[in-house]
């Protein structure tokens, strides 16, 4: 999907605060019969905003006193920043990853949603909280409270063309050792084993670095790095992951020139059969659907792990798309009710069917999935460990340093050990900077 520009545009906000902190107050609904105009602004990417607008119209029909104004933009975060600064945000927003939502939380700009989650859902029995996948809900929590809610989510992994693999008699590698053997066979067939989105090294963080660190050192190794534990970014696990990325370079497994390619160019080389595999999230089909060469196909696989690694081989790196209710919006109670409706099981199933992505609502995948979504959905169900690259939004400067150091290593300018030293140095700077709010994974 055209989501990636927002992921690479992370920036801290300089947000002005005035008045009392309303972030933990219970929002009060409008009086009966009072007319309410609800404003909702969303990131307009590969999934568009048409289903958001449709849901808003349906919500209006169910609530005649409420009018919902829906707006979307590919760079909606640029429109939202001045509104948060002036304390006049919309009532509900999905700003994408181009906005530091944890910075908003620190400034008291987000409403805590625990009381709402413990209330009734738009459909069915129990609580609204019960309708969400717990592992995804947890990613929007800090300080014991829920600040951000998930909607659709992406599964990170690798992709291959099953037709190409079948033609050559290749089997998708499950282990690092199998990858090294297969890579030589792919090269012998005149194809590059792997391409990647070189202009956006973020893909390698999620597609190689963190999964391989998790495989080498287990879940704790990745947690420690994200929690800025001293020395964690040059731990044996991170070093091993960096060595694996570099070894693929030394063996000539990467498509020549891919370091200079943007996301769609690298992905097109994969679809054209120039490379056998590419790391990407489950937005890949939506992003490339209109330009896929005839006869090309894609299927999901987990990044190959170390056969003797400490980590869980079912571990899955995912990304939620953050939705939030601004504490200084005019109608937070009504905004919550709108989002309850948008996350009802029937609406979630509709989104899965029509947009081809997974949703954070339990049971929403119990529909006819598009072929490219079957394997990711299965991987999510079978995973014993679900995690995310939390540090990317917590510490944008650290993310940038990891990206730059990866590029330098892939250019042959840094050794894996030097990569680790460089990133650890930046982590230490952030760790010792008292002006930067610190976060911690449980």
What's the pLDDT score for residue 284?
Answer: 94
Helix residue spans in 107-235 (DSSP H): 114-117, 134-137, 162-168, 176-188, 202-204, 210-217, 219-226
DSSP for 5-26, written as a single string: HHHTT---------S---TTSP
pLDDT at 17: 37
Nearest to 417 by CA among 249, 230, 227, 233: 233
- Residue in this structure with the two tokens 């892939």, named with its chain if needed: 410
User: In terms of DSSP bridges, do strands 92-94 and 141-142 run parallel, antiparallel, or are they unpaired?
Assistant: unpaired
Q: Where are the beta strands (DSSP E) in 74-226?
A: 92-94, 141-142, 145-146, 152-160, 192-194
Cα distances (angstroms) measured from residue 337 to each of 28, 91, 118: 12, 11, 13
* Residues in Cβ contact with 278 at an 8 Å cutoff, skipping those fewer than 6 apart: 158, 159, 194, 195, 196, 266, 267, 270, 284
DSSP H helices in 145-201: 162-168, 176-188
Calpha distance 323→12 (Å, rounded): 17
CA atoms within 13 A on the CB side of 396: 15
- Beta pairing, strands 299-301 & 145-146: unpaired
CA dihedral 353, 358, 364, 370 (to 10 degrees): 40
Sign of CA dihedral 423, 426, 427, 428: positive
Q: What is the pLDDT of residue 99?
A: 83
CB-count exposure of residue 401 (10 Å: 0-12, 13-18, 19+): buried
Cα 195 from Cα 2, distance rounded (Å) = 19
**Measured distance CA(266)–CA(263) in Å, rounded:** 5
Distance between CA 364 and CA 285 in Å, rounded?
Answer: 19
What does each C-alpha distance from 39 to 306, 343, 371 come to in angstroms? 49, 18, 36
> Chain-centre distance of CA 335, in angstroms?
23
> DSSP 3-state assignment of 293?
coil
Q: How many CA atoms lie within 13 A of 88 on its CB side?
A: 4
CA 355/CA 1 separation, integer angstroms: 10
**Structure-token pair, residue 425:** 């140095």
- Mean pLDDT of each 10-residue bin along the chain, 442 residues long: 34 38 70 90 91 98 97 93 95 87 91 97 96 94 93 96 98 98 98 97 97 98 98 98 98 98 96 98 92 96 97 95 94 97 98 94 95 96 95 93 98 98 98 93 78
């Amino acid at each position: 999907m055209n989501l990636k520009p927002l992921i690479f545009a992370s920036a801290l906000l300089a947000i002005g605060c005035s008045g009392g902190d309303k972030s933990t107050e219970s929002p009060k609904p409008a009086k009966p019969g009072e007319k309410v105009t609800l404003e909702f602004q969303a990131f307009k990417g590969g999934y568009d905003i048409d289903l958001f607008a449709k849901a808003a119209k349906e919500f209006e029909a169910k609530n005649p006193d409420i009018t919902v104004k829906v707006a979307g933009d590919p760079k909606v975060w640029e429109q939202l920043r001045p509104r948060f600064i002036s304390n006049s945000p919309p009532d509900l927003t999905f700003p994408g990853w181009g906005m530091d939502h944890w910075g908003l939380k620190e400034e008291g700009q987000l409403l805590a949603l625990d009381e709402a989650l413990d209330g009734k859902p738009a459909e069915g029995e129990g609580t609204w909280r019960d309708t969400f996948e717990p592992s995804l809900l947890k990613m929007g929590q800090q300080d014991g409270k829920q600040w951000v809610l998930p909607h659709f989510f992406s599964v990170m992994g690798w992709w291959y063309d099953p037709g190409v693999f079948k033609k050559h008699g290749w089997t998708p590698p499950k282990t690092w050792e199998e990858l090294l053997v297969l890579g030589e066979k792919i090269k012998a067939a005149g194809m590059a084993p792997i391409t990647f989105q070189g202009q956006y090294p973020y893909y390698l963080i999620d597609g190689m670095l963190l999964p391989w660190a998790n495989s080498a050192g287990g879940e704790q190794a990745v947690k420690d790095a994200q929690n800025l534990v001293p020395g964690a970014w040059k731990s044996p696990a991170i070093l091993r992951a960096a060595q694996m990325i570099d070894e693929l370079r030394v063996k000539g497994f990467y498509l020549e020139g891919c370091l200079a390619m943007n996301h769609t160019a690298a992905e097109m080389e994969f679809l054209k059969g120039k490379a056998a595999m590419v790391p990407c999230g489950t937005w890949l089909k939506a992003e490339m659907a209109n330009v896929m060469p005839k006869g090309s196909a894609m299927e999901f696989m987990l990044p190959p792990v170390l056969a003797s690694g400490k980590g869980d081989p079912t571990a899955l790196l995912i990304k939620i798309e953050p939705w939030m209710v601004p504490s200084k919006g005019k109608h937070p109670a009504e905004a919550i009710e709108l989002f309850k409706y948008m996350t009802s099981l029937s609406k979630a199933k509709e989104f899965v069917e029509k947009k081809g992505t997974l949703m954070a609502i339990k049971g929403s995948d119990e529909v006819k999935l598009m072929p490219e979504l079957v394997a990711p959905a299965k991987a999510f169900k079978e995973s014993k460990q679900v995690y995310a690259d939390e540090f990317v939004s917590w510490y944008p400067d650290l993310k940038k340093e990891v990206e730059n150091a990866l590029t330098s290593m892939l250019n042959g300018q840094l050794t894996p050990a030097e990569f680790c030293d460089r990133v650890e140095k930046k982590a230490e700077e952030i760790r010792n900077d008292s002006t930067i709010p610190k976060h911690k994974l449980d």
